[in-house]
Copies of this chain bind each other. A is one copy, B any other.
Amino acid sequence: MVLAIAESERVRGTTSPNPPVGCVILDRSGKAVGFGGTQPPGGPHAEIMALKEAGTKAQGGTAVVTLEPCSHYGRTPPCTEALIEAGIKHVIHAISDPNPEAAGGVAVLNEAGVTVESGLMRHEVSQGPLRAWLHYARTGRPHVTWKYAASLDGRIAARDGTSQWISSEASRKEVHDMRAKLDAIIVGTNTVKKDDPALTARDADGMPLPHQPLPVVVGMSDLPDGAKLQHTALHLRTHDPDEVLSALAERGVVDVVLEGGPTVAGAFWRARRIDRVLAYIAPALLGDGPAAVLDVGVSTITDAVRLTVEDVTMSGPDLRISAVPQN
């Protein structure tokens, strides 16, 4: 399953609105003979890719897959059929398909004499490569990560507005690697005016990485002439997070990072449309300058937006904190 997760991570960002699934085929003796990840929409699913590589060695073998194999005709024929035809005798998957159209794979497989085991490394998969897609399948909305970089005292820029660089090179590299696995990045028109970002995923030498997320700008004002995003970004003229998320869901966007400034972040918080916080906290003090978020709809301490810390790691000298809202 560890290898199947690695396959799924490899294709993450390129499969939406389909889930980035990974599959490994083991032969009769338990040796891994085929690897596959979901191809872009319309292309083969992970199981098909892995079966293709395994060829006749799949006969009598096992398919290890991060998501329950689909049993319906969508843009591609059902994977259950392909697994049965290839002579697979056992299927092990991490997560059952929450999509009623696709579910039922287990029944079909059992009927054909294939044993099915589900739940292996469920947590790793549901919090890892399939996290955004599972949220999307459950709610119909893209999964929103609010990402920001601030000083220990919560400032995203100094008094004079300068902010390059609060966070370390290591943290900025992490952010670019993350962008390369995303469907979209949202900023506000203020950020475009102030920072003129390109919102591209680049490597250490500044060269674009293979997969690029869709840049999205929200807000009423026009983008300044000559702004890097003027001709590349989807500009949504609204302040309503739900309108933004519906427009993105219609475009097949599943996994979104909000990199907007304090105003856009505040709007998403008030609408309770943030599913995860990713904070890069630089061990530095500024003592003045703008905060990471404004007006989350809290006026007294008992109403504070409470989060649960999922994970804290160091990113170079910075702290990288991942947290989720408590309901």
| Chain A contacts to B: CB under 8 angstroms | 150-155, 157-160, 162-166, 266, 269, 277, 279, 281-288, 291-309, 312, 314, 317, 319, 321, 323
Contacts and interface: CB of A to CB of B under 8 A. Distances in A.
B288 A299 contact: yes
Nearest to A313: B312
A312 B279 CA distance: 15
28 contacts: A152-B154, A152-B307, A152-B321, A153-B292, A153-B293, A154-B292, A158-B303, A158-B304, A159-B299, A159-B300, A160-B299, A166-B301, A266-B287, A283-B306, A283-B321, A283-B323, A284-B306, A285-B298, A285-B304, A285-B307, A286-B296, A286-B298, A286-B305, A287-B294, A287-B296, A312-B312, A312-B319, A319-B319
A314 B288 CA distance: 27
Nearest to A165: B301
B307 A283 contact: yes
A151 B269 CA distance: 15
A325 to B, nearest CB: 9
Given A162-B301, A285-B296, A294-B287, A317 B321 contact: no
B323 A304 contact: no
Enumerate the 4 nearest inter-chain pairs by beta-carbon distance, A residue then B residue, closest first.
A154-B154, A287-B296, A283-B307, A162-B301
Q: Which of A277, A281, A301, A303 has the most CB of B within 10 A?
A: A301
B152 A300 contact: no
A268 B41 CA distance: 59
A307 B299 CA distance: 31
Given A266-B287, A284-B307, A309-B314, 12 more contacts: A152-B321, A153-B291, A154-B292, A158-B299, A158-B300, A162-B301, A166-B301, A283-B321, A284-B306, A285-B293, A288-B298, A319-B321
